[in-house]
Amino acid sequence: MRKKETGRADQSTLTGGYAVIGTRPPRYDAVDKVTGRALYGPDIRLPGLLHGKVLRSPHAHARILSIDTTCAEALPGVYAVVTAEDLPRAEDRRARLGEGAVNFKYLCDNILASAKVLYVGHAVAAVAASTPHIAEQALALIDVEYSLLPAVVDVLEATRDTAPLLHEHMGTRSLAGESRTPSNTASHFQQVKGDPEKGFAEADVVVEREFRTATVHQGYIEPHAGTAIWGADGRLTVYATTQGAFTARDQLAELLDLPMSRIRVVPTEVGGAFGGKVTTYVETVAALLSRRAGRPVKIVMSRSEVFLASGPTSGTAIRVKMGATRAGRITAAQAELYYEAGAYPGSPVGSGAGVMFGPYDIPHGQIDGYDVVVNKPKTGSYRAPGGTPANSAAEQVIDELAERIGMDPLEFRMLNSAKEGTRQIDGAVHTHIGCYEVLETAREHPHYSAPLEGPHRGRGVAHAYWGNWGAQSSSAISVNADGTVAMVTGSVDLTGTRTSLAMQAAEALGLTLEQIVPSVADTDSIGYTEVSAGSRTTVATGQSVVKAARDVIAQMSERAATLWGVPADTVSFHRGTFTTGQDATKSTTFGELAAMLSRTGGPITGVGNIDVQEWGAAFGTHIVDLEVDPETGKVTILRYTVVQDVGRAIHPSEVEGQMQGGAVQGIGWALYEGYQYDEGGQMLNPTFLDYKLPTALDVPSIECVIVEVPYPKHPYGIRGVGETPILPPPAAIANAIYRAVGRRMDRLPMTPGRILEKMGVI
């Protein structure tokens, strides 16, 4: 294991013997993005472009009795009006798209409501007009008759027999089949390891707590946007703000009942996504309008629409019970997780269950997960989907267990740390992991032992695990005569991955980074590539570009062999130079050989198609010092440290950015963010004015400690880094608040008012 402390002015590299990997070059996309030249979805301009607007339900739950678009269609400047009638009927079948299961019937109904509206903001109709203002006028002319129904927006309320049903024919699905009784509980799973009853009986100390968390949005600055244009040949082109062009294409194909070969998706630069831009929202509507109008149509969501009608993550109700011996060994763990799915089934409750106890070796356990529909927008993924609420609950109970036993919080976690071969409650077995190393590094960090003086100040820690992902990627590397290479991948660049991928290619090819020209392709121009999500891009597409690079080297070696008249298997390549064992006088650089390609057989393109089936999990520990104002309840974070195993840091600055960014989002989740609803299901804070995201004024400089426990099955030992850091902050902060004011928090966000209530001040 190697570790480096970073975040200081004299930041060093983590080269580990590599020429490019471990350095901190400027990002390829940096200049365009900071100068405003980068092309985002809302920036798309096409000749004849029309502007689309969406009419959305003002009601949380209602039947649609009729929709009259006559007056809207007659308004001068309006070119098309569409409703659900214009969508082909999507099948009631599920597929794995992006990163989870998608039911196409529900996806279709979420795009444009048919029989019922299920949340405020649910799309009902759409208009394309020559100006955005005419489009808005036309929306006001669409007459929709509703029959109101009672709404339910609380996850536990929705499970009661008396709750209004969102889908009258939906029973509860599990591996035991689907129940016939209609229910808002869409599914239930149960995972069992050993004998939990026996495990609790063996415990000397048992802690049981209940927690609630609010619906939270990813908070990306760029809203959803889609521009659609049909060619005269009937092919559709869509410019989309998406994390995955191929996933978007597959969704469009299903929703529009088109062969996927008739659709090209061009991914634009993305101004933040965090999982929320895997599902398509406005693209399908833009395509319907464009087909009807015979002109390109662009739809850009407003900020309120993003809050009301995209995919926030679940509010939850979680109960956790854990037991341990006085010697500090955890004997049993049990949890019930109720996750809001929003209007249609499919919350990330499974992922939450999969990671909450993952860092620990627990002999007996049971987890029950419930996916519950409520009258809120259908949930989407948000950075380690499902993980943060579950981790928040488990890590607070672990903190309390350690305190009751009288053990240091990190020592307690280290004593129970998972290692290679540890079986989790769901049956998955840990492979080569850095769980213990991360905890040990945190314990040894100066922050953990620094004095913290003053009233109402406390220090808290939390630890977390995220499994990460591999899956399919495609890339191609073509050699230019000047010794540079064009590297094309199918991975949308959300986080600087053009650079981290180019660095891996440069390392494999023995070139400088300046000799790599990266680009992100559309769906016509590269092979299938999975979404940029699940912390997979640098890992899986990285392996893809390394494979393409090796293919280039193999082909170039054959050219060298041809030039020298030697067998190809005698040619070697090292750090940019080809040599042969047959003749020590023969050598040529990559650049010299590139200049001769046209005379030695023509162009060379290396291909890297891959389906990564094994990948390394990541662990992180956060340490936070804070102060609570006893009069206002306001929390001020004084110091924050993130310790995380990244396998190998390809670009340490990008890695630190992920660690800091995830931590800041977790801080927002802990202290500030949450959808607020009235009893009728109206969201009360659908703008950034009232939905508070943390800003630079709210967080201190975040210190990052990169731990490197290389994953042995990746060429460079990389582990995914992006999601793990959002998991620990709420629990770390809750544990620190406890030490500051002596009160255990049980609800997120931990607002000043809630802290004062716990303290008994109000």
Partner 1 sequence: MRDLTGRQETIKVPGKTVGQVIAALDAAYPGIRDRVCEGDRIGPAVAVSVDGRIAQLELFESVGEQSEIRFLPALSGG
By CB under 8 A, name the binding residues for partner 1: 93-102, 175-177, 187, 189, 191, 218, 274-276, 278, 348-351, 353-354, 369, 380-386, 423, 426-431, 467-471, 533-536, 611-614, 723
Asked if residue 738 lies in contact with residue 631, where contact means CB atoms within 8 angstroms, the answer is no
CB of 274 to partner 1, least distance (A): 6
> In terms of CB distance, is 467 or 652 closer to partner 1?
467
Please enumerate in sequence order all residues whose Cβ is within 8 A of that of 572, keeping only pairs 6 or more positions apart, or say none: 557, 578, 579, 580, 581
Q: Which SS3 state, helix, strand or coil, does residue 243 take? A: coil
> In terms of CB distance, is 412 or 469 closer to partner 1?
469
CB of 185 to partner 1, least distance (A): 14
Amino acid in the structure at residue 129: A
CB of 607 to partner 1, least distance (A): 20
> In terms of CB distance, is 31 or 429 closer to partner 1?
429
CB of 318 to partner 1, least distance (A): 16
Which stretch of DSSP H or E encloses residue 740? helix 729-741
Question: 712: burial class by Cβ within 10 Å (0-12, 13-18, 19+)?
Answer: exposed
Query: Around Cβ 732, how many Cβ atoms within 10 Å?
Result: 34
Question: 66: burial class by Cβ within 10 Å (0-12, 13-18, 19+)?
Answer: exposed
Torsion sign over Cα 697, 657, 350, 380: positive
* Residue 209 to residue 191: CA distance in whole angstroms: 20
Take residue 577 and report the two structure tokens written for it. 């130079």
CB of 460 to partner 1, least distance (A): 25
Residue 52's Cβ-side half-sphere holds a number of Cα atoms within 13 Å equal to 35
> In terms of CB distance, is 100 or 267 closer to partner 1?
100
> In terms of CB distance, is 634 or 713 closer to partner 1?
713
- Paired strand residues for 300: 225
> In terms of CB distance, is 157 or 426 closer to partner 1?
426
CB of 351 to partner 1, least distance (A): 5
CB of 644 to partner 1, least distance (A): 16
> In terms of CB distance, is 360 or 590 closer to partner 1?
360
Distance of CA 596 to the CA centre of its chain: 44
Asked if residue 28 lies in contact with residue 502, where contact means CB atoms within 8 angstroms, the answer is yes
CB of 192 to partner 1, least distance (A): 8
Take residue 330 and report the two structure tokens written for it. 């955890």
Please enumerate in sequence order all residues whose Cβ is within 8 A of that of 228, keeping only pairs 6 or more positions apart, or say none: 236, 237, 238, 239, 283, 286, 287, 289, 290, 296, 297
Asked if residue 150 lies in contact with residue 164, where contact means CB atoms within 8 angstroms, the answer is yes
> In terms of CB distance, is 350 or 490 closer to partner 1?
350
CB of 410 to partner 1, least distance (A): 27
Per-residue DSSP letter, 512: -
> In terms of CB distance, is 606 or 720 closer to partner 1?
720
CB of 501 to partner 1, least distance (A): 18
Nearest to 745 by CA among 229, 399, 464, 475: 399
Asked if residue 239 lies in contact with residue 252, where contact means CB atoms within 8 angstroms, the answer is no
> In terms of CB distance, is 102 or 546 closer to partner 1?
102
Give me the residue label for tokens 């129904």: 149
CB of 535 to partner 1, least distance (A): 6
> In terms of CB distance, is 57 or 658 closer to partner 1?
658
Take residue 379 and report the two structure tokens written for it. 């949930």
Number of separate helices (H) and strands (E) present in the chain: 20, 31
